[in-house]
Each structure stands twice: as structure tokens, then as C-alpha cells.
Amino acid sequence: TKPVLVIHGGAGTLDRSRLTPELRVKYIAALEQALLAGNEVLTNGGEALDAVVAAVTVLEDCPLFNSGKGAVFNSAGKNELEASVMLSRPPSNRPDILPTRRGLGVTLITRAKNPSHLVRALYLAPESIHHAFLSGAYPEDFAASRGETLVDPSYFWTEARWREHRRGLGLPEDPLPYPSTTDSSDAPLDQLPKG
Amino acid sequence: TVGAVALDAQGCIACLTSTGGLTNKLPGRVGDTPTMGTGFWAEEWKPTGPLARLWRKLTRKPLRVAVGVSGTGDGDYFIRLNAASTVAHRMKYLGESLEKATSAVVEDLKLNGGLGGLIAVNQDGQVALPLNCSGMYRGVIRTDGVPKTAIFDDE
């Protein structure tokens, strides 16, 4: 089988007029970096599970995309992250994972730096995580016990997402709750993303 | 929302989706990203129809079909339509190609008021990236190692 990898960011009504050449370069660079990260796993004989985690990690760490760092805010001004993983069949190097273990989703995540790492950790721990869908603090604490990184919820804050959250509710955008660490000119094209 | 679907050299397909959800969603709202069958799905099956029997007779190998899907867009509509698993079901029960099944689901989403797109891979390494809106950040890479990317629908 010849490996292949496809990725996506958000979809919706993207505003062409907001896409400056500089911003386009940043989007394309992030997408290419994600593709190359995943492809490196595949070309070295790695598994599809690790390839998708490698690719999504790049996008989660990029503030341009609505996941991880750069996630949107809910109406209460909080980040509630979600992630999932699913395989067509269990990893070939893990005979302990039953064929019935198809995949897993997590929701209402607030501290996992990379939700993609969290779902992989949960998927590969079938002896104790035998559910298909988990929410809240427990999955995060479990993943942390397996070495995954938890962060303060303020890690996910970006100026662009905060402003669109406040603007969407008709609230004043200033003052900002934190000093901005991202380029304020990198306003995403998908204003008010739909998830 | 971001996502990835990969087919590895062993023939396994994995999909992974990650999101912050919907801007100004109600606290506690759960979208399609973590909801199995709506925003993500991966499945492998062995067809059993006459064509599959012919295949087995000719090749002495069972026909194997697999697909992985990740979606992005109006998550609530993806949930109502069970969008991601419907791609696999259309392939399994209607015998549709990957491209036809994904396009049909994306079109169905639009007819029901939902904007968005899907990415999908099958067991042969064919890919589909249909969308029903003006844009979706997307990309594909194959064994040649050359990343191909696009943003708007006409790219």
C-alpha cells in the first residue's frame, strides 16, 4: 500500500478580501508543515495513527486554526476543546487492542495542550479506558498520568479569537485580559468559525 | 476545526479531528468532532455481493474496502445527518465510490442548511476533499513527498 495523508483546517464562508499575500504564506506554510510532519512518519514506515497525530499537532500549535492554541471561545469566554480518533483496524503492533476498539472522542477539554495527543493516549490505553466517549477533567488527568502535557487554560487565548468572541456578543473588545503574544494582523479568514 | 486522515503502508487508515468548536457556543455544547459517526469515522469491511465473490474467484483474495473521514463546518448539521459514517454506509450499501459518497454527503449537508467540507481516504489511497462553501484549508501529500494545499473552493 502506498501511504497518503490528507488534512483540513476550517471550512465555511472564508473572506477572500482578508487574505493578504503575507497571511496566505502563513496559512500555506502551516498546512505544508503539517503535511510534511505526517508524511515523515509514513515514509519511515510509521503507522497512520502516529501520522495523523503528527500532522494535527502542527495545526493545534498554530494560532491561525480553531484548535489547541487559537481555539475559539464559548459564550462564557472559555475554551472547551474536543478531539477524536478512529482507526479502520487496530494498530498492527498492538495485539492487545481488540478489533472492537474502533475509536474514541473527548469533549469539554480545557487543559490538554494537544487534544490530539490526549485521544491517542486514551486510545492506546484500552485496559482502563473502555469507553467510546469521555468528557471533562478525568480524561485529561488520565492522559497527564501517561506523560501528556496539561497547560493553564490561558495558554489557548489569542487576541484574534478573543476579539471575535467579544464582537460576536456585542461586547467591548478592550481591555484585553492578557497581553497579546500573537500577531494581531493574523485575523483568521473564517470569522466566527462554525466548528 | 482541524483534522487528518492517513493510510499507512500496512493498509490501516486513521482519522483524527480536533477543534475549539463553534464561536460563542453555549457552555457545555458538544459538537460533531468528538461524536463518533458525525465528524469522524473509519471503517474496514469485506463486501459480500456478487462482485466481491467474482473478485475472490479471480484473485483468490477477499475484497477489502476501508475508508477514513474527518469533517469540518456546521457541526450541528453533521450530527443531525451522521455525516461521516454516512460516507462509509453509502460506499458499503450503495457501492458508491469515495468521491461520489463524500460529494453526496456534502451536498446533503448543504441542502439541509449546513456549510462545510470533508476529507477522506480509501484503501487504495484515493482521496476526496469536497466542500460546499467558499473555502476549506486543505492539503494532501503522497509518497513523492510534495505537499499540495488549497484554501478556496476554486483552487
Name the minimum distance, in Å, from the CA of A47 to any CA of chain B. 6
Residues ≥6 apart with Cβ < 8 Å to A144: A150
What is the reported pLDDT for A195? Answer: 61
User: pLDDT tens digit string along B63-80?
Assistant: 899 999 999 999 999 999
Residues of chain B with pLDDT under 70: none
User: pLDDT tens digit string along A75-127?
Assistant: 999 999 999 999 999 887 888 888 888 999 999 999 999 999 999 999 999 77
Q: What percent of chain B has pLDDT over 90?
A: 90
Residue B88: phi and psi, rounded to 5, are -65, -40
With a cut of 80, say whether residue A185 has pLDDT above it.
no
Chain A residues near residue B14 by CB distance under 8 angstroms: 47-49, 51-52, 85-88
C-alpha cell, A61: 500549535
H or E stretch including A165? helix A159-168
Mean pLDDT for A30-58 is 98
What's the full length of chain A, in residues? 195
- Between CA A74 and CA A25 the distance in angstroms is 29
Residues ≥6 apart with Cβ < 8 Å to A142: A121, A122, A125, A128, A129
Partner-chain residue, chosen from A12, A108, A116, that has the shortest CB–CB distance to B16? A116
CB contact under 8 A, B5 and A14: no
C-alpha distances (whole Å) from A32 to each of A56, A65, B94, B103, B114 are 12, 14, 35, 25, 28
DSSP secondary structure string, chain B?
-EEEEEE-TTS-EEEEEEE--STTPPTT---STTSBTTTEEEEEE---SHHHHHHHHHHSS---EEEEEEEEE-HHHHHHTTHHHHHHHHHHHH---HHHHHHHHHHHHHHTT--EEEEEEETTS-EE--BSSSEEEEEEE-TT---EEEEETT-
Partner-chain residue, chosen from B10, B22, B73, that has the shortest CB–CB distance to A72? B22
Partner-chain residue, chosen from B22, B33, B135, that has the shortest CB–CB distance to A14? B135
Answer whether B82 touches A (CB < 8 Å). no
- Between CA A113 and CA A140 the distance in angstroms is 10
What letter does residue A158 receive in the DSSP assignment?
-
- Between CA A170 and CA A149 the distance in angstroms is 35
For testing contact with chain B, the best of A1, A6, A131 (most B CBs within 10 A): A6
What letter does residue A65 receive in the DSSP assignment?
S
**Ranges A35-49, A93-107, A140-154, A160-174: which has the least confidence:** A93-107
C-alpha cell, B17: 479531528
HSE-CB for A48 with a 13 A CA cutoff? 35
Closest of B122, B126, B147, B120 to residue B12, by C-alpha: B122
- Between CA B40 and CA A79 the distance in angstroms is 21
B1 has catalytic annotation: yes
Distance of CA A167 to the CA centre of its chain: 24
What is the reported pLDDT for A193? Answer: 72
For testing contact with chain B, the best of A32, A43, A86 (most B CBs within 10 A): A86
Q: How many CB atoms lie within 10 A of CB A101?
A: 18
User: pLDDT tens digit string along A137-150?
Assistant: 999 999 999 999 99
Chain B residues near residue A42 by CB distance under 8 angstroms: 6, 8-9
Name the minimum distance, in Å, from the CA of A26 to any CA of chain B. 12
C-alpha cell, B84: 461521516
Chain B residues near residue A72 by CB distance under 8 angstroms: 20-25
Taking each helix axis as running N to C, give the angle between helix A48-60 and helix A21-43, from 0 to 180 degrees, rounded to the nearest 10.
160
Instruction: Return the higher-pLDDT residue of A181 and B45.
Output: B45
What is the reported pLDDT for B34? Answer: 98
Answer whether B47 touches A (CB < 8 Å). no
Catalytic annotation, pick one of B1, B33, B38, B86: B1
Instruction: Return the higher-pLDDT residue of A72 and A100.
Output: A72
Number of A–B residue contacts, CB under 8 Å: 354
CB contact under 8 A, B142 and A2: yes
CB contact under 8 A, A66 and B20: yes
Distance of CA A73 to the CA centre of its chain: 14
What is the reported pLDDT for A190? Answer: 67
Chain B residues near residue A92 by CB distance under 8 angstroms: 10, 12
